[in-house]
Amino acid sequence: MRPKANKTLNMKLLVVAVLAAFFILFVLRSNFSNSTQNLSPRSSQASPLSVPKSSTDCSLSCTKLPPSISQTLIHYATSTITPQQTLKEISVSARILEKHSPCNFLVFGLGHDSLMWSTLNHGGRTVFLEEDEAWIEQIRRRFPTLESYHVTYDSKVNEADNLLEVGQGQECTAVADPRFSMCQLALKGLPSFVYDTKWDVIMVDAPTGYYDEAPGRMTAIYTAGMMARNKEDGETHVFVHDVNRVVEDKFSKAFLCEKYMIQQEGRIRHFQIPSHRDDLGRPFCPM
């Protein structure tokens, strides 16, 4: 999730525009709600020359900018570093968050875009899982409101082919809580609340996975899919970034399933995975 080089000024302005649009929608929704609550039969029959109280009393109609949104807008407007995803890629996830927020949003990775994701889920819970402890401390000093946890990954990119084969076994296709799974791909060392929470949206954008000896995203992708299937009910939106790379491409297709894929935009894929707990006979991937 951390870019390897600074992006252009245009990209920075586009990110700020996305956040500004989100805020405008937030204000319009709040004002509409207030105006609806304050409307009465008597006020609807008022003289055309009368001035509604809401036009002179801001407390009835104005929505103060939440501090978290203020901080985000200022940060991205003044920062020389912008998120790694393109505007089109960001928009895929942003549309889902606009529809479902406030919601439970789990992100594998902590980076320069984390403040943006947390803000787009304003009022919900956004949790970041990161393998680099030093990076976590650096981000916490800058943005103490972000909720992040350290995790470890035992598998490396050069083990991907073997793990892809292992993942076809019955112990990996059986729906189960990942922490109790017998599958080698299941992440078992995450904070306990991660397994107990009903996640509405999950994004896999970590670990790094860009060279053979680096931790790969095989287990993160598999675990995200299993969490979605093992959820008590409903559907989970799962996003995988960097699908231009071999591991992300093969593992997202194999364990999130091509027929659950809703959209691909650039390097990001969007999957919508239903709960399998209400039908344990359902195949791991649709036929």
- Residue range 218-261, pLDDT digits in tens: 999 999 999 999 999 999 999 999 999 999 999 999 999 999 99
Whether residue 206 has pLDDT greater than 50: yes
- Where residue 280 falls among pLDDT bands split at 50, 70, 90? confident
% of the chain residues with pLDDT over 70: 72
Whether 131 and 207 have beta carbons less than 8 Å apart is answered as yes
pLDDT at 260: 98
Angle between helices 87-100 and 9-38 in degrees, nearest 10: 20
Output 153 or 69, whichever has higher pLDDT. Answer: 153
Residue partners of 37: CB distance under 8 A and separation at least 6:
none
**Is 81 a residue whose pLDDT tops 80?**
no
Residue 61 has pLDDT above 80, yes or no: no
287 vs 159, residue with greater confidence:
159
> Residue 74: its pLDDT value, please?
65
Which range (28-32, 68-72, 180-184, 274-278) has the least confidence?
28-32
Instruction: Give the pLDDT confidence score for residue 79 in this predicted structure.
Output: 64
In the predicted structure, residue 76 carries a pLDDT above the cut 70: no
pLDDT at 109 over 90: yes
Q: Residue range 86-104: average pLDDT?
A: 96
- Answer yes or no: is pLDDT of 45 > 80: no
**pLDDT tops 60 at residue 146:** yes
Q: Are strands 235-241 and 268-274 parallel, antiparallel or unpaired?
A: antiparallel
Does residue 24 surpass a pLDDT of 90?
no
H/E stretch holding 263: strand 261-265
Where residue 72 falls among pLDDT bands split at 50, 70, 90? low
Least confident window among 61-65, 67-71, 224-228: 61-65
Helices (H) and strands (E) in the chain, counts: 12, 7
- The pLDDT assigned to 55 comes to 45
Mean pLDDT value across residues 149-177: 97
pLDDT at position 84, please?
Answer: 80
HSE-CB for 285 with a 13 A CA cutoff: 17
